[in-house]
């Protein structure tokens, strides 16, 4: 009887909480400036790319069109209404004139129709006559499809890395600041060693540890582990400083006087008080992970071909000849830039909202 009454009540509660949450979100949206809104939209889009890669990407990232290597981006045209049954949009086929020079000419006699929501893709064409929205690479693979699949690496590495380094940083920092004494001393000396490392140099040295034969998922986790190992120390130091100033506040003293165990004091009283700062710092440190992975992959020490990441897609541009003749291979860099900028705008905004004392 009792439980039967409680269930609808609870779900009503949940409904109210949901409505309240939605309202709060709406308020936050109205407060945010337009760059922040653009950033949120941009990130939502990128995470959608990552989650729904097979749907968004028009082709398989490994599909090679050998007759179209290093093909420039193809222009899209709107079909005249009489041809709408074939497809709303079309592009002209490309023909390679000279295989050495890789000069392409537009073949106006052959129209390639782009079909929307076809064969489980958002848009696609017949794989034998591909539409290279952003050009193709040296093996004739569609750059856009590879960027879409590459977003999986770049968009998740920040979240996983921040999760690891921040849970490590918060727990070690809070412990160190609360316990003090020899433990504190030891942890802080160790973090000083880590912080006086030239981090990128050390990242390079550590990347050599990754054995060459690993799968791309394993490499991914190695990279995350390495970058978290480097970045947790700085964060732990700041949390430690905040905790050691909070620990003598009256409300913590009161909890201690009431006989609360250390675990409870840390989890319920101390960590929540530094959480606002932590969320801001977490958002602002995501770009570091994205950039770190991109840099490693760019240098050939991270995610390896044939798997795609935004960094290793750029590696093609390291050859001056490629850069000169096929400038569209720089497009993945634009995606990195947009992702990094969005996290920066978002973090900056969160700092104004959650941690006003530190806002610039």
Binding site for other proteins (CB under 8 A): 35, 189, 192-193, 196-209, 211, 287, 291, 294-295, 298-301, 314, 317-318, 320, 323-324, 327, 330, 333-334, 336-337, 340-341, 344-345, 348, 360
Cα–chain center distance at 73:
25
Judged by beta carbon, residue 33 or residue 167, the one nearer other proteins is 33
Judged by beta carbon, residue 120 or residue 211, the one nearer other proteins is 211
Strand ranges (E), 42-180 = 77-78, 89-98, 103-118, 121-124
CB of 214 to other proteins, least distance (A): 11
Nearest to 166 by CA among 253, 280, 329: 280
CB of 334 to other proteins, least distance (A): 8
Judged by beta carbon, residue 164 or residue 315, the one nearer other proteins is 315
Residue with tokens 């504190």: 184
CB of 205 to other proteins, least distance (A): 6
Judged by beta carbon, residue 177 or residue 287, the one nearer other proteins is 287
Q: Which long-range contacts (CB under 8 A, 24 or more apart) does 242-248 make?
A: 242/177, 242/273, 242/274, 242/277, 243/173, 243/174, 243/176, 243/177, 243/178, 243/270, 243/274, 244/177, 244/178, 244/180, 246/270, 246/273, 246/274, 247/177, 247/178
On whether the CB atoms of residues 78 and 89 are closer than 8 A, the answer is yes
CB of 237 to other proteins, least distance (A): 11
CA gap 166, 360 in Å, rounded: 23
Q: Count Cβ atoms below 10 Å from residue 356 Cβ, excluding itself.
A: 9
In Å, how far are 48, 128, 156, 233, 308 from 236, measured between CA atoms?
32, 54, 23, 5, 33
Judged by beta carbon, residue 82 or residue 196, the one nearer other proteins is 196
Judged by beta carbon, residue 9 or residue 360, the one nearer other proteins is 360
Judged by beta carbon, residue 86 or residue 215, the one nearer other proteins is 215
CB of 69 to other proteins, least distance (A): 20
Residues 6+ apart with CB under 8 A from 295: 200, 302, 311
CB of 348 to other proteins, least distance (A): 8
Q: Count Cβ atoms below 10 Å from residue 170 Cβ, excluding itself.
A: 22
CA gap 94, 65 in Å, rounded: 12
CB of 198 to other proteins, least distance (A): 4
């Amino acid at each position: 009887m009792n439980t039967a009454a409680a269930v609808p009540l609870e779900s009503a509660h949940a409904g109210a909480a949901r409505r309240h949450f939605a309202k709060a979100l709406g308020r936050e949206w109205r407060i945010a400036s337009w760059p922040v809104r653009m950033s949120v939209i941009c990130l939502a889009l990128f995470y959608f790319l990552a989650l729904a890669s097979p749907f968004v990407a028009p082709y398989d990232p490994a599909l090679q069109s050998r007759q179209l290597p290093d093909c420039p981006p193809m222009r899209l045209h709107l079909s005249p209404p009489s041809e709408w049954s074939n497809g709303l949009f079309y592009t002209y086929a490309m023909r390679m004139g000279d295989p050495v020079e890789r000069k392409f000419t537009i073949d106006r006699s052959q129209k390639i129709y782009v079909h929307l929501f076809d064969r489980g893709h958002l848009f696609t064409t017949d794989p034998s006559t591909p539409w290279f929205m952003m050009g193709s690479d040296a093996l004739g693979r569609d750059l856009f499809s590879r960027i879409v699949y590459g977003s999986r690496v770049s968009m998740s590495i920040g979240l996983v890395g921040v999760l690891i380094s921040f849970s490590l940083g918060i727990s070690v920092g809070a412990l160190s600041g609360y316990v003090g004494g020899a433990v504190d001393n030891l942890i802080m000396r160790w973090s000083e060693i880590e912080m006086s490392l030239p981090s990128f140099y050390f990242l390079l040295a550590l990347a050599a540890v990754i054995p060459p034969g690993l799968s791309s998922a394993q490499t991914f986790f190695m990279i995350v582990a390495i970058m978290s190992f480097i970045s947790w120390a700085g964060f732990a130091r700041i949390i430690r400083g905040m905790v050691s100033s909070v620990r003598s506040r009256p409300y913590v003293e009161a909890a201690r006087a009431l006989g609360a165990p250390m675990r409870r004091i840390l989890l319920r009283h101390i960590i929540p008080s530094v959480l606002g700062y932590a969320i801001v710092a977490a958002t602002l440190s995501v770009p570091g992970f994205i950039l770190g992975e991109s840099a490693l992959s760019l240098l050939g020490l991270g995610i390896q071909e044939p798997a795609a990441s935004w960094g290793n897609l750029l590696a093609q541009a390291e050859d001056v000849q490629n850069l000169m003749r096929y400038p569209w291979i720089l497009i993945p860099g634009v995606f990195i830039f947009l992702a990094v900028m969005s996290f920066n705008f978002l973090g900056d905004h969160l700092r104004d909202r959650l941690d006003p004392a530190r806002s610039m």
